[in-house]
Amino acid sequence: GESVGLHLPTLSVQEGDNSIINCAYSNSASDYFIWYKQESGKGPQFIIDIRSNMDKRQGQRVTVLLNKTVKHLSLQIAATQPGDSAVYFCAEQNAGGTSYGKLTFGQGTILTVHP
Amino acid sequence: KAGVTQTPRYLIKTRGQQVTLSCSPISGHRSVSWYQQTPGQGLQFLFEYFSETQRNKGNFPGRFSGRQFSNSRSEMNVSTLELGDSALYLCASSGRTGNTIYFGEGSWLTVV
């Protein structure tokens, strides 16, 4: 299979701390990367994306870093809030190829923010 | 602007039956893809449609099929349901390859 085992990594932080969620991707041909947040019972919600010609992109309270050399992606969340508690997925796509619509997802990380 | 809409949200089917799930993409989006999410396998790609044509398919048996209509709305069908088909089925849409892919809330299918 292409993703996910039974045991998701977990990250537990205090409200106000910065969070860093890491992801290793598998396909060196991937040129488009997305982070999604999924809350219980809901579909994945787009957070931020980055293309392979960039190594950093910032959004509101979030930053994505891309290291193509080691095929690593990270999501930084500043001043984490209880509402940020969710499962976070990274996804990769070979957008320049024929992978139409196909994202390959990482296993996900459970983020828990304590008040 | 309305998001990706999926119906029904919840359904229970009996083993051996078939099921059809519906998806309305974001207005203007012509690419619709489907994913299956289970605790054991995570999110897995089923297939993608663009302008009524299937352009890509994941590693699922032929019991899983789909189609897209001229208004970009899509349906997926699972025939001869098995217990292992119990999952959250997610639909996603985008404007074109390489553009942001947005997901719907999903259809929860339970096979008993």
Residue type, position A46, single letter:
F
pLDDT in tens, B4-47: 999 999 999 999 999 999 999 999 999 999 999 998 889 999 99
Mutate to test the interface with B, among A32, A102, A109, A110 (most CBs of B within 10 A): A102
Q: Which residue of B has its CA nearest to A44?
A: B103
What H or E segment, with its residue span, contains residue B93?
strand B87-94
Contact B90 A98 (CB under 8 A): no
**Contact predicate A111/A18, CB 8 Å:** no
**Residues in chain A with pLDDT < 50?**
1-6
Compute the average pLDDT of residues B104-112.
98
Compute the average pLDDT of residues B66-70.
97
Chain B residue numbers with beta carbons less than 8 Å from the beta carbon of A107 are 42
Pick from B40, B42, B50: CB nearest A100 = B50
Q: Does B28 touch chain A (CB under 8 A)?
A: no
pLDDT of residue A37: 98
**CB atoms near residue B29 (< 10 Å):** 20
Contact B45 A34 (CB under 8 A): no
Chain B residue numbers with beta carbons less than 8 Å from the beta carbon of A23 are none
Q: In this model, does residue B98 exceed pLDDT 90?
A: no
**Contact predicate A33/A99, CB 8 Å:** no
pLDDT of residue A62: 98
Strand B19-24, strand B42-50: pairing: unpaired
pLDDT of residue A58: 97
**Contact predicate A80/A95, CB 8 Å:** no
Closest Cα of chain B to A96: distance in Å? 7
The residue with greater pLDDT, B108 or A28, is: B108
Q: What share of chain B is helix, strand, coil (3-state, %, to 5)?
A: 5, 55, 45
Closest CA to A101 of B15, B18, B66, B19: B66
